[in-house]
């Protein structure tokens, strides 16, 4: 059986940057997991003493706090400043971009439409940058907007990991029903590249392994794309979840990985799959 890696996979710029920041600040805390990969989080904890907390109450005044790649809500950032915490900002620059756009456009009187999952930490942070009293709509498709009474001015942004074709559908809908629409493409280029590479590879394989955190939005997107073109596609977090029975009578195995997946996990899985070759 042949094994082939997607031409673009794994750590994106923002994640590489965040990991480097965490390694340079040993024994610090992160507010929420730094990235969506529990194995890499454990590596940082065991090797660098970097831990994470889920509640603001667990952060003591004057402590060093690493802000996660997905960012945090504006009011929580203010609390850390008021507590005199040493804030080490690892927020991905591609995430701070929609935060600034939402802040500026809402201040200019635009309704804000965010294409994304309102429960995702990135989107919670982006939403918080809208000025008080602004209309903010966070949706996953146009049907959620059809019942809303939008004003004459709308600014549209996207979660960094959403599908561009779905973002375009939402933009087309708004252009037809609102007099003025400002469209800001805030989808990360690394997301495009990983998705395109996964699609191209899945078309040529009879089994696909997509590696990444089960709670990672971009990894879920890669899995859905892979499944569309290769029915025997599997989403795993590490080598322990790989079942060698998946590869029986297969000729070509493709491997893709989400933006929060480190190379060492990819290498472990390749090594395990090779045991049946």
Q: Which residues are catalytic?
A: 122
CA-closest candidate to residue 194, choices 116, 256, 260, 267: 256
H helices, E strands: number in the chain: 9, 12
Count of C-beta atoms within a 10 Å radius of residue 33: 21
Cβ neighbour number for residue 20 with a 10 Å cutoff: 11
Q: Report CA-CA distances (Å) from 177 to 112, 143, 185, 218.
A: 15, 13, 20, 30
**Residue 249: both structure tokens together:** 């009578």
CB-based burial, 58-97: b 16+ in 10 Å, e otherwise = ebeeeeebbbbbbbbbeebbeebeeeebeebebbbebbbb
Closest CA relative to residue 237, chosen from 42, 3, 94 = 42
- Dihedral angle, C-alpha 124, 130, 132, 135, nearest 10 °: -90
Helix (H) or strand (E) holding 257: strand 252-257
CB 205 within 8 Å of CB 197: no
Tell which phi-psi region holds residue 212, choosing left (phi > 0), alpha (psi between -120 and 50) or beta.
left
């Amino acid at each position: 059986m042949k094994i082939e890696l997607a031409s673009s996979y794994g750590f994106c710029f923002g994640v590489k940057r965040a990991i480097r920041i965490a390694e340079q600040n040993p024994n610090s805390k992160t507010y929420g997991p730094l990235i969506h990969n529990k194995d890499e989080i454990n590596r940082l904890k065991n090797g660098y003493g970097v831990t994470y907390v889920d509640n603001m109450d667990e952060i003591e005044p004057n402590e060093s706090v690493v802000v996660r790649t997905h960012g945090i809500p504006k009011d929580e950032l203010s609390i850390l400043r008021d507590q005199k915490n040493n804030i080490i900002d690892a927020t991905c620059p591609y995430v701070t971009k929609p935060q600034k756009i939402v802040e500026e456009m809402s201040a200019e009187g635009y309704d804000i439409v965010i294409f994304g999952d309102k429960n995702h930490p990135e989107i919670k942070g982006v939403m918080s940058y809208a000025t008080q009293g602004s209309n903010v709509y966070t949706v996953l498709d146009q049907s959620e907007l059809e019942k809303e009474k939008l004003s004459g001015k709308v600014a549209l942004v996207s979660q960094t990991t959403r599908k561009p074709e779905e973002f375009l559908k939402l933009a087309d809908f708004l252009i037809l029903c609102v007099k003025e629409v400002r469209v800001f493409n805030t989808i990360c280029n690394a997301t495009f590249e990983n998705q395109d590479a996964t699609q191209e590879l899945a078309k040529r394989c009879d089994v696909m392994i997509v590696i990444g955190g089960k709670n990672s939005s971009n990894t879920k997107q890669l899995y859905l794309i892979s499944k569309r073109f290769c029915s025997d596609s599997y989403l795993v977090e590490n080598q322990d979840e790989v079942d060698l029975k998946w590869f029986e009578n297969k000729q070509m195995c493709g491997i893709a990985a989400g933006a929060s997946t480190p190379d060492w996990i990819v290498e472990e899985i390749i090594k395990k799959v090779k045991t049946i070759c």
